[in-house]
Amino acid sequence: MSVFWFGPIVLILSFGMTGVLRRYALEKSIMDIPNARSSHSVPTPRGGGVAIVLAFLVSLLSLAIAGFADTATLLACAGAGGLIAIVGFMDDHGHIAARWRLLSHFAAAAWSLICLGGMAPLQFWGMQVDLGWLGALLAAVYLVWLLNLYNFMDGIDGIASVEAITACLGASLLYAVAGHAGLMVLPLMLAAATAGFLVWNFPPARIFMGDAGSGFLGIILGIFSIQAAWASPVLFWGWLILLGTFIVDATFTLLRRLARGDKVYEAHRSHAYQFASRRNGRHLPVTLAVAALNVFWLLPVALSVVAGLVDGVVGLLIGYAPLLVLAVRYRAGALERNGA
């Protein structure tokens, strides 16, 4: 059986498990109750992202048995992703102190890098630079930031799912262009698992992802990008470009709040996408806009980098420039004015 038949099976599995989790959340009153920092107005079941986790982990096991993926990446995804999902699940059902969550995040990042062999040499303007232990340290910080920013950006219906699906499908196209089609399998399985959940999470959402799902997606996407860097340095730049919508909004918001002296670990709703959703009065236009930016802007830029038409650093700056303009336009990191 072709490996690509796994995709529909994973999607159906994720869809079914999300329905079961929604019923469980309703019965146990595991609900996200709107408050002053929320971007929604109706109590909604949460924790549906566990379906993404379980469906993807099942696909990993199946792929391992069938011999369709390398052991190192499978171990990195299963170990790091599993740890982040468990910690996120526990936090969804109670509260874990920030220091313990952060410790688990760095443990997951360290495990990933050990499995993958550290950080691959990076390519700048045609030159490859091996940063050694410094590269591994920076890679750990990158993974921890990526999983946290993914949690921060999971604030309106469908946005985190759409980001993961478009990034994974876009990366699969980059792999094909770069001659590394064998790397497509895992991103396609993650896209399928996320798509099954998205059926329930598409605006208006009937269940939310929760920290277990959002943190899991963040760390897994980060692992994919580092795996790709070992195959070809330009693919790492491609991943950074594809994830630009989330990276720019979250990073700009964080830096602006830090500069103002805010307690950045406290909940807020000052990301650009949150201001945009309140301005529109709905989540759907913003979620669709993110999908459009990813497909019609960031993907072509990433393709130009992978095809060798543009240097990785230049491509990153080109891809991020309009996203930065949008972050400023939609007041990312600013204080709310009259509830808007």
Q: Which pLDDT score is estimated for 281?
A: 86
By the 8 A CB rule, do 79 and 242 touch?
no
Containing 31, the helix (H) or strand (E) segment is strand 31-32
Q: Please provide the average confidence, as pLDDT, over all residues in the chain.
A: 92
Report the binding-site residues.
Answer: 151, 211
- How many H-runs (helices) and E-runs (strands) does the chain carry? 14, 4
Domain boundaries, the chain: 3-236
Report the binding-site residues for Mg(2+).
Answer: 151, 211
Q: What are phi and psi of 300, to 5 degrees?
A: -60, -40
Q: Among candidates 194, 239, 186, which has minimal Cα distance to 214?
A: 194
Which residue in this structure is represented by tokens 């002053």?
36
Give the pLDDT means over successive 10-residue stretches in the chain (340 positions): 79 97 89 67 86 96 83 94 93 81 96 96 85 93 96 94 98 97 94 98 94 96 97 96 98 93 81 94 95 98 96 97 97 76
Exposure string over 230-265, b if 16+ CB within 10 A, otherwise e: bbbbbbbbbbbbbbbbbbbbbbbbbebbeeeeeeee
Q: Which pLDDT score is estimated for 35?
A: 63
pLDDT tens profile 283-307: 999 999 999 999 999 999 999 999 9
Q: Which pLDDT score is estimated for 2?
A: 65
Q: Which pLDDT score is estimated for 340?
A: 57
Q: Which pLDDT score is estimated for 160?
A: 97
Q: How far apart are alpha carbons 285 and 184 in whole angstroms? A: 30
